[in-house]
Chain A
Amino acid sequence: MILEVDKLRIHYSTRDGVARAVDGASFTVPEGRIVGLVGESGCGKTTAVRAIMGVLAENGRQAGGRVVFKGQAMDEATTRKLRWRDIAYVPQSAMSSLDPVYTVGAQLVEVMTKRGNHSRASARARSVELFDLVGLNERRLADYPHQFSGGMRQRAAIAMALALEPSLLLADEPVTALDVIVQRQILDVLRSLQQRLHLSMVLVTHDISVVAYLCDEVVVMYAGQVVESGPVRDVLARPRHPYTMGLRNAFPDLLSDALELVPIAGSPPDLREPLSGCRFVPRCPFAQPACGIDAAMSGNGDHRSACRRDSEADTLRTAALDPRTWQRSSSFAMS
């Protein structure tokens, strides 16, 4: 395991109380694999990743749990040492994460000379190499971020992430802002780089089809907790948690587009309210009184889920394929 996240808790103090953005989430990233971290927005995926990078917002703090990188528990000092050299980050919007007043080349050189052991000359040479690697013309190094198109900026951001040859890449919705064709191109760049450089990667996304396209494993998060995890093929073909079943219905399937898209009614719960039991209950078509008690992750082998009705997963899955199931849940939940 290159990365282990163990019962991580991240709290934000807000005017209306403490928001438990990440509430005891655990997952692991095996060496050389791509792990998809999936869930609706507001489920704590981005917070978890930012916590690993050590850049929580001012009102956020780690309230519990730990992050272990290559067997070493991360604290502030190790985070500071490791970041970008060992763990790098690909942002959702490369436009806002590149400084508008410097050229892209200058920003590449900056991180290599200030954080790596590069001289200016070797940093420049490596920039050319990196641009080549992500499929950008080296002449564009002298351009400013606003002169790039969306897809090119995303490639530049990937080049930036690879500058110091990290072993783990955290990509936060790296293709969300792009149109479908460019999405595919960027995902292909990521995949080929991951294979050539033997990278490990965490890919944060709300789009389960992106997970299906790129990832080896998947971790499904809901309301700050992990509700299901396992190999992509298992989880997507035979989801065990109703939330995953719902997510799968809500996105076009890359393999068979026969299914009608059915969004899950409602929205993730307010994390400032104290919650107990399964957080999906208010939106779950299969909820029972027993669901008011917390369910631990269980399952055989790699595929695990946190549902009280895990034993009935096959039956529920069949029912979940029927769009009417989800309509019922929404009217039920509203009343």
Chain B
Amino acid sequence: MRLVLGRFTHNALALLAVTTILFFMFRLMPGTPLAAFINENLNADQQQAMLEQFGLDKPMWQQYFIYLANLLQGEMGLSFFQRRPVMTILLEVLPNSVILTLTSLIIAYIFGVVAGAWLAWKRGTWIERAAVPAVLATRAAPEFWIGMVLLAVLSFNAGWFPSGGASSPGMAYSSNWDRIFSLDYVHHLALPVLTLALYLQGLPLLLMRSNMLEVMHEEFVTMARMKGLSEWRIVIGHAARNALLPVVTAFALGVGLSMGGNVVIETVFSWPGIGRLLVQAVSVHDYPLAQGAFLMIALVLALMNFVADLLYMVLDPRVSHGRKG
């Protein structure tokens, strides 16, 4: 329990540090945050009113604490451009990002774990010798480029998938959830998921493979063999069960990390998610929205780091069950 609390504090502090860095990064940028808005047509009073509206007339440290207090209540201000609360906009697109990330990760990790264990099993064969550099190449490819190639081949050329967006134009749904559970949505989701999964499978695959290779040399695996247990039981029940520990942790970390990486995938496929929102907000200098999107991504990252720590504790009895002596 103390461990859990410790990890929680650690991740919470990291998040606080990120929000602080972000606050000052945005405030200390060259030009006032409202530079994009304030034009010659506004008189001094109107400018002042605008600064007040966004709370920019107060001293920096005061702004910082107001900002923190607001954040804690989920209050992130108004988007400069959309003139709507940032939180509302974020919550609208968040499900799209979460669905994209989780679906791809689950596919990537199931494939990666199975293929990685299988490659470890096949160690020394030509299959393994050819597969390892090939997998490294998928890890080396820029995500968006994989997306571009798949888009050109499978969408524009073969016409199997739509070229972007999350739903076909002209479709009407009674609610957001209705839309998400529609076949049309899944059809739009398929190609981004395929791209992301292709990019993400390398990590669990290589991790699983090297863990398996290491575990297969552990004495308890030899011992299982001496006990005459079946090969299946040795590989799955003992070797894979142990090799899986770090992979499960990597999965949780992967959720946080790929939420950040989704920025490019969402842009390639015009997928209305948090990443694309961030890109758009930054390119039009919509500070509150960019800040909100960034914080949301950082929050997911910190949350997932914490989940990864918890998972590790739950899954590894050496951590969850203390020493008794």
Rounded to whole angstroms, the CA-CA distance of A101 and B322 in the bound complex is 13
Interface centre among B238, B316, B317 (most CB of A within 10 A): B317
Contact among B218, B227, B233, B318 with A84 in the assembled complex (CB-CB below 8 Å): B227
B interface SS class: helix
CB pair B226–A89 under 8 Å, yes or no, is yes
- B229's partner among A81, A91, A96, A110 (CB-CB below 8 A) is A110
Asked if A149 is an interface residue, CB under 8 A from chain B, the answer is yes
Contact B227–A149 (Cβ < 8 Å) = no
| Among B222, B223, B315, B317, contact of A146 (Cβ-Cβ < 8 Å) | B317
- A115 with B318: CB separation less than 8 A: no
For B227, list chain A residues within 8 Å (CB).
Answer: 83-84, 111, 114-115
- Tell me if A83 and B226 are in contact (CB < 8 A): yes
State in angstroms the CA–CA spacing of A54 and B233 once bound together: 18
Cα–Cα distance between A83 and B226 once the two chains are bound (Å): 6
Chain A, Cβ-Cβ closest to B315 = A101
Q: Is the Cβ of B321 less than 8 Å from the Cβ of A115?
A: no
B226 and A84 within 8 A (CB): yes
**Which residues of chain B (194-238) have a CB below 8 Å from chain A?**
218-220, 222-230, 233, 237-238
Count of chain A residues with Cβ under 8 Å from any Cβ of B?
A: 28
Q: Is A9 an interface residue (CB 8 A)?
A: no
A33–B219 Cα distance when bound, in Å, is 28
Chain B residues whose C-beta falls within 8 Å of the C-beta of A83 in the assembled complex: 226-228
Cβ–Cβ < 8 Å partners of B170 in chain A: none
B residues 292-322 with Cβ under 8 Å of A? 315-318, 321-322
Residues from chain B with Cβ under 8 Å of A81 in the complex: 228
Q: Is the CB of B325 within 8 A of A149?
A: yes
Q: How far is the CA of A264 from the CA of B33 in the complex (A)?
A: 81
A89-115 toward B: CB 8 Å interface, digit per residue (1/0)?
Answer: 101010011111101000000110011
29 contacting pairs across A/B (C-beta < 8 A): A55-B225, A80-B228, A81-B228, A89-B223, A91-B219, A93-B219, A96-B220, A97-B219, A97-B220, A97-B222, A98-B223, A99-B220, A99-B238, A99-B241, A100-B242, A101-B241, A101-B315, A101-B316, A101-B317, A111-B227, A114-B229, A114-B230, A144-B321, A146-B321, A146-B323, A147-B322, A147-B323, A147-B324, A147-B325
Question: Contact residues of B with A, CB < 8 Å?
Answer: 218-220, 222-230, 233, 237-238, 241-242, 245, 315-318, 321-325
7 smallest CB-CB distances across A and B, nearest first, come from A96-B219, A144-B317, A97-B223, A147-B324, A97-B219, A99-B220, A84-B227
10 other A-B residue contacts (CB within 8 Å) besides A98-B223, A146-B321, A147-B322: A55-B225, A83-B227, A84-B228, A97-B223, A99-B224, A101-B245, A101-B316, A110-B229, A111-B227, A147-B325
